[in-house]
Amino acid sequence: MNYTFSGRVSSLKPSAIREILKFTADPSVIPFAAGNPATEAFPTEEIAAISSTILENNPIGALQYSLTEGYPPLRDWIRRHLDKQGILGNDDDVVITSGAQQAIELSCKILCNEGDTVICEAPSFIGSLNAFKSNNVNLVGVPVLSDGICIDSLEKALLANPNTKMIYLIPNFQNPSGITMSLEKRKAVYDLASRFDVIIVEDDPYGALRFAGEDIPPIKSLDTEGRVIYCGSFSKILSPGMRVGYVCANSIPLQKIVVCKQVSDVHTNIWAQMVCERYFTIHDYDDHIENLRNIYRRKSKLMLDNLKWEMPTSISFTEPEGGLFIWATLPDNIDMMDFCKNAVKKKVAVVPGVAFMVSEDIATSSFRLNFSTPSDEKIVDGVKILANVAKSML
């Protein structure tokens, strides 16, 4: 039969970068294109022990239907955790989601009609961009500078798009650029959102993974009006396979998110919620995070040092203070897509920068590197290969 799909889904085009990304499943390819937590970052024995205890003491609780809003003790832990950081406002509450991805998608669903504008950073996280596209919104990208989104361009975008409903931002160690937004810019973004009466969706999956510099308050901590929807996750600090994230927001939009979550998946896997709660109740959060920071500080430095030693000086890199990604920019005389294709032929996969733009038609000479997934040996080998590819193209 001939299928007719909804307008939202018809507009989802197959990606031109698929040809490169499909090689990431090949184990012989060095995985600089991935975004997985490092293997050594998983407390596997502790999780196995906790899981055993849960399935011994309360098996029905871990296997039966549960509440859409999430496991109450985990919600309590998160409330306390966010309250310490000044994130939880007076009229705010916390709901568990199936990864921060679900919180982002549902925020768009409750706020935007088809054709409404969502403003995001350019570049931004591909998973969120696709979530917005699947709601058939008008996506507008605003350039990211070394200290975060360009405020002048953001104001122009808001003026040019009076139907803007939300601004989507990743202020800490942004995916893909690795850039962190300064406090001044966070304040300026909040003021603009307030002036134009739009919601900010703040995506903070990497915030805990700061391995250099000083913490900067989240935009949500500046929120006096219930204007910011804050999305967090256990994916990068415990386990992404569990699919446990959360959303902190004013209870009015949060209730809409709960209704939409209920029709999406009823509730998040309850065993995983119980494991998260037990892990961070039994084990010291700060010690656990310090261990992760040490891992990523070392791996990030290893990749950056090797990039500086091996790569032609005409290629520039961001130097992230946390997170999992480095953003590399090629000189004008190297075609970025050709570079990525040549790299994967030599068994190193990176993500072409166009993947992170609101449209693949937007030109960029950048690509994304990930240092958390590959082993230390692969980091050294992979950078050498990339350097040889670059040199052969100059």
Residues 52-71 that bind a copy of itself (CB under 8 A): 52, 55-56, 59-60, 62-66
Site for a copy of itself, residues 2 to 41, rule: CB under 8 A: 3-9, 12, 34-37, 39
Site for a copy of itself, residues 84 to 103, rule: CB under 8 A: 98-99, 101-102
**Pick 133 or 179: Cβ nearer a copy of itself:** 133
- Please report whether residue 314 would count as binding a copy of itself according to CB under 8 A: no
Q: Quick check: 368 and 33 in contact, CB under 8 A?
A: yes
**Pick 47 or 151: Cβ nearer a copy of itself:** 47
User: d(Cα 200, Cα 159) in Å, to the nearest integer?
Assistant: 16
- Please report whether residue 333 would count as binding a copy of itself according to CB under 8 A: no
Tell me the three state secondary structure of residue 4. Answer: coil
User: d(Cα 139, Cα 162) in Å, to the nearest integer?
Assistant: 13
User: d(Cα 128, Cα 156) in Å, to the nearest integer?
Assistant: 22
**Pick 100 or 383: Cβ nearer a copy of itself:** 100
Report residue 309 CA to chain centroid gap: 29
**Pick 159 or 266: Cβ nearer a copy of itself:** 266
User: d(Cα 346, Cα 386) in Å, to the nearest integer?
Assistant: 8
- Smallest separation (angstroms) from a copy of itself to the CB of 307: 25
User: What is the CB neighbour count within 10 angstroms for residue 116?
Assistant: 18
Among 19, 22, 44, 345, binds a copy of itself (CB under 8 A): 44
- Smallest separation (angstroms) from a copy of itself to the CB of 276: 12
- Smallest separation (angstroms) from a copy of itself to the CB of 361: 19
Site for a copy of itself, residues 175 to 214, rule: CB under 8 A: 197
Q: Quick check: 96 and 75 in contact, CB under 8 A?
A: yes
**Pick 60 or 363: Cβ nearer a copy of itself:** 60
User: d(Cα 117, Cα 104) in Å, to the nearest integer?
Assistant: 15
Q: Quick check: 229 and 340 in contact, CB under 8 A?
A: no
Say which DSSP state 188 is in. Answer: H
User: d(Cα 67, Cα 43) in Å, to the nearest integer?
Assistant: 27
Site for a copy of itself, residues 274 to 303, rule: CB under 8 A: none
Residue 316, H or E segment: strand 316-317
- Smallest separation (angstroms) from a copy of itself to the CB of 332: 34
**Pick 225 or 305: Cβ nearer a copy of itself:** 225
Q: Which of 255, 266, 233, 254 lies closest to 127 in space, CA to CA?
A: 233
- Please report whether residue 165 would count as binding a copy of itself according to CB under 8 A: yes
User: d(Cα 338, Cα 142) in Å, to the nearest integer?
Assistant: 26
Binding region for a copy of itself (CB under 8 A) out of 128-136, 152-160, 331-339, 374-382: 128-136
- Smallest separation (angstroms) from a copy of itself to the CB of 35: 8
Q: Which of 38, 19, 386, 370 lies closest to 236 in space, CA to CA?
A: 38
- Smallest separation (angstroms) from a copy of itself to the CB of 260: 6
Q: Over the Cα atoms of the chain, what is R_g?
A: 21
- Smallest separation (angstroms) from a copy of itself to the CB of 281: 19
Binding region for a copy of itself (CB under 8 A) out of 207-215, 269-277, 305-313, 376-384: 269-277
Among 220, 243, 288, 299, binds a copy of itself (CB under 8 A): 243
Among 88, 270, 303, 389, binds a copy of itself (CB under 8 A): 270
- Smallest separation (angstroms) from a copy of itself to the CB of 27: 13
User: d(Cα 311, Cα 266) in Å, to the nearest integer?
Assistant: 49
Tell me the three state secondary structure of residue 307. Answer: helix
Binding region for a copy of itself (CB under 8 A) out of 250-258, 302-310, 330-338, 354-362: 250-258
Among 73, 217, 226, 331, binds a copy of itself (CB under 8 A): 226
- Using DSSP bridges, classify how beta strands 245-250 and 228-233 pair: parallel, antiparallel or unpaired: antiparallel
**Pick 275 or 304: Cβ nearer a copy of itself:** 275
Furthest CA-CA distance within the chain = 63
3-state helix, strand, coil split of the chain in percent (to 5) is 45, 15, 35
Binding region for a copy of itself (CB under 8 A) out of 142-150, 204-212, 222-230, 283-291: 222-230
Among 85, 134, 161, 316, binds a copy of itself (CB under 8 A): 134
